[in-house]
Amino acid sequence: MISRAIPQTSIYQPHLAELIRVESIAGKEKLFEFKLKDGKELGHKPGQFVEISLFGIGEMPISISSSPITKGSFELAVRAVGNVTNALHRLAVGATVGIRGPLGNGFPIDSLKSRDIVVVAGGIGLFPLRSLINYILDRRSDFGRLVILSGSRTSGERVFVSDLEKWQKRQDVELLETVDRCDEGWTGNVGVVTTLFSKVNVGPERTFVVIVGPPVMYRFVVAECKKKGISDEQIIMSLERRMKCGVGKCGHCQINGIYVCQEGPVFTYAQVKKLRELM
Amino acid sequence: MRNRIIKKWDITSFANTLISIGNDVVGPKRKDGKYAFDKLTDASELCLDYDTTLLPPKAYLLPPKETLVKFELGKEVKVEPVVEAKTIILFGVHPCDIKAIELLDAVFSTTNPEVNYLSRRGEATIVGVDCLSPSPNAFCPSLGTATTETGFDLMLTDIGDSYVVAIGSSKGEELLRKYAVTTEATRSELTQKEQECQKALARYRVTLNMSPGEIPQLLDKSWDSLVFKEKGEKCLSCGSCIMVCPTCFCFDVQDDIALNLKQGERYRQWDGCMLADFAAVAGGGNFRNDRESRFRHRMYRKGKYLWERYGKLGCVGCGRCADACLADIASPAETFNRLKEESLSKE
């Protein structure tokens, strides 16, 4: 028998947040820093997302880009592609938005502790991964090696360039970057992100690979991981779907029997490799 | 379960009393040669011997369009949740539709319980009626949804000049005690009820060639079946099947704002996996871009995914999708039977 007890609050009620800083991070991408108006912490884990509202335009899921260690505010990085994201790009500091969340499961921090971590970012896949990378750097001694493999289409489309430069300078981070197509001024690696794998040696037992990027990227990165002998349980990925409700009701984010907003968005490859319509 | 007897002329006065004391009473009425749930102004409009209705009573619990949040923009932004629920009596709901409501109850009360649905559900009284003249496309007995022991406040069964009334809740019992003239059910009347329900089972024309519990396993091995392709090729992607379904609950969320750009609302409206854009994502991708994969997804959701999540199938056998489908492909019974045949021929 199901209890039909009526909850006190609505799962669709957004909390108000104030935009306190905007920074351009690439041609179509901006970083937005928000503070909840009730003074509370968002209280997220790396890899979780929020539903952001621009009242009158709509609501959409956006992953959180800041480390939860940073208190008082949180950051969302957004590419302008649709109605809500374009409206967000037009906002000025001081504007009010709605926030529901944090939602979703986030990266499995406990499993990652004391392990070597290879982060594989394709394009704006770096947005959610930046939360994890900064968290690892905030708690550096809790983790083993940190290898970052980052791929962009062109050097002009690199996102979080200042963060990449900062990470590059650190002794305790191994960062390798590549671009798909070389354009003027780029002297680094050229080729898709998988080409960076040959430049990295990892001990498969103690390594977790965390992948976020466009759908087409996953199967090639997974193949590289398998070549290196990394088990399916140690390949972690975050999946993208259009979560309309974010709370497991609306059906939009369903992949076979899974709701990405509930069981995900972060999965191990072992969890999802048998799913169809995955990528 | 306690049973009472109510005479047919007394059921009319019972319903009229419920209306006259100010309740919204919704029941099946005649509409253009078919039946539809609608608010009753007089109990004489009630047709309790209907076969099926165009739409299930779901719309009274999960409206086609519903405001979730209201907001006011300005120097200070104000946002408040909207929960609209008023007392309603659903009078004359078939067991299959009651089973569908039980699924909705599970969906909206487990993990992240939803105040909107649950408030409306809490205000609803369900008076069921056993289905003795089933619709030609229905296959409820195959899914165990032709009768129900749960999910209602009162349940009526036609035994000729009177109804047996099964009492399913204290709320139902109180309504009966206050507003209806009933007598104790005799043993022979209860036997007659059993016989009427038994006779009705023989009137169903569609049968599933498997037990409901077999469906998820059957689907486990049927992903690559050509049945989905064959059906998908005929699909018009019109969404009729999901719009008439008593168990479909998927929705889209949109914002609306007044012309003064100050007051606005966020609403949801029915949406579903058979519509082309349902699985679209930002940047132009669509994870179920073709009709075959959308058709397959609907069948898996009905026969496997919801079963795994809620322990209930997403189909109650009402047959409305088959009635509504212009391409004549929608019935889950036909697809499941075809898949079963296929799996037998492979063995």
Q: In terms of domains, do B31 and B167 share one?
A: yes
Specify if B206 maps to a domain. no
3-state secondary structure of B84: coil
Task: Look at residues B158, B174, B201 and tell me which one is the last residue of a structural domain.
Answer: B201
Per-residue pLDDT tens for A166-193? 999 999 999 999 999 988 889 999 999 9
Q: In terms of domains, do B195 and B157 share one?
A: yes
Identify which of A2, A4, A257 has the shortest CB distance to residue B122.
A4
Domains A15-103 and A109-238 share a fold: no
Query: What value does the mean pLDDT of chain B take?
Result: 96
Helix (H), strand (E) at residue B337? helix B332-346
Report the distance separating Cα A195 and Cα A186, nearest Å.
17
Say if A94 is an interface residue toward chain B (CB within 8 Å): no
What is the tally of structural domains in chain B?
2
pTM: predicted TM-score of the whole model, two decimal places:
0.95
Specify if B20 maps to a domain. yes
* Residue A155, CA distances (Å) to A89, A179, A194 in order: 22, 6, 17
ipTM rounded to 2 decimals: 0.92
Give the number of beta-carbon pairs within 8 Å between A and B. 148
Report the distance separating Cα B339 and Cα B231, nearest Å.
12
Taking the CA of residue A14 and the nearest CA in chain B, the distance in Å comes to 8
| Most A CBs within 10 Å, among B79, B121, B245, B307, to test the A interface | B79
Q: In terms of domains, do B249 and B157 share one?
A: no
Identify which of B79, B252, B272 has the shortest CB distance to residue A244.
B252
Per-residue pLDDT tens for A194-218? 999 989 999 999 999 999 998 889 9
Count the helix, strand and coil residues of chain A and give each as a percent rounded to the nearest 5: 25, 30, 45
Answer whether A116's CB lies under 8 Å from A125's CB. no
Report domain A15-103's class.
mainly beta
Q: In terms of domains, do B24 and B91 share one?
A: yes
- Whole-number pLDDT of residue A191: 93
Specify if B179 maps to a domain. yes
Report domain A109-238's class.
alpha beta
**Whole domain around residue B237: which residue ranges?**
214-253+269-346
pLDDT (average), residues B173-195:
96
Taking the CA of residue B300 and the nearest CA in chain A, the distance in Å comes to 8
Q: In terms of domains, do B86 and B115 share one?
A: yes
Identify which of B110, B281, B288 has the shortest CB distance to residue A240.
B281
Q: In terms of domains, do B189 and B294 share one?
A: no
Report the distance separating Cα B250 and Cα B288, nearest Å.
16
Q: In terms of domains, do B152 and B248 share one?
A: no
A-chain residues near B106 (CB < 8 A)? 2
Per-residue pLDDT tens for A210-242? 999 988 899 999 999 999 999 999 999 999 899
Domain ranges for chain A: 15-103, 109-238
Taking the CA of residue A83 and the nearest CA in chain B, the distance in Å comes to 10
| Most B CBs within 10 Å, among A2, A218, A241, to test the B interface | A2
Answer whether B242's CB lies under 8 Å from A251's CB. no
Q: In terms of domains, do B220 and B332 share one?
A: yes
Among candidate residues B99, B118, B108, the one with its CA nearest the CA of residue B246:
B99
pLDDT (average), residues B115-140:
97
pLDDT (average), residues B32-53:
96
Q: In terms of domains, do B165 and B142 share one?
A: yes
Tokens 């709605």 belong to A98
- Whole-number pLDDT of residue A1: 64
Q: In terms of domains, do B115 and B152 share one?
A: yes
Check CB contact under 8 Å for A4 and B121: yes
Percent above pLDDT 90 for chain B: 96
Specify if B132 maps to a domain. yes
pLDDT above 80: residue A279: no
Identify which of B77, B116, B252 has the shortest CB distance to residue A96.
B77
Identify which of B111, B264, B281 has the shortest CB distance to residue A242.
B281
Specify if B75 maps to a domain. no
Specify if B207 maps to a domain. no
Say if A21 is an interface residue toward chain B (CB within 8 Å): no
- Compare A47 and A216 and report the one with higher pLDDT: A47
For residue A215, give the chain B residue with the closest CA. Answer: B285
* Residue A210, CA distances (Å) to A63, A131, A199, A277, B111 in order: 15, 12, 17, 21, 28
Q: In terms of domains, do B45 and B192 share one?
A: yes
Among candidate residues B244, B207, B243, the one with its CA nearest the CA of residue B35:
B244
B-chain residues near A85 (CB < 8 A)? 282
- Whole-number pLDDT of residue A216: 87
Check CB contact under 8 Å for A257 and B278: no
Q: In terms of domains, do B162 and B229 share one?
A: no
pLDDT above 80: residue B347: no
Contacts with A32 (C-beta within 8 Å, 6 or more apart), sequence order: A19, A21, A22, A75, A76, A77, A78, A88, A91
Specify if B261 maps to a domain. no
Per-residue pLDDT tens for B81-107? 999 999 999 999 999 999 999 999 999
Report the distance separating Cα A224 and Cα A123, nearest Å.
18
Task: Look at residues B174, B201, B228 and tell me which one is the last residue of a structural domain.
Answer: B201
Contacts with B191 (C-beta within 8 Å, 6 or more apart), sequence order: none
B-chain residues near A255 (CB < 8 A)? 287
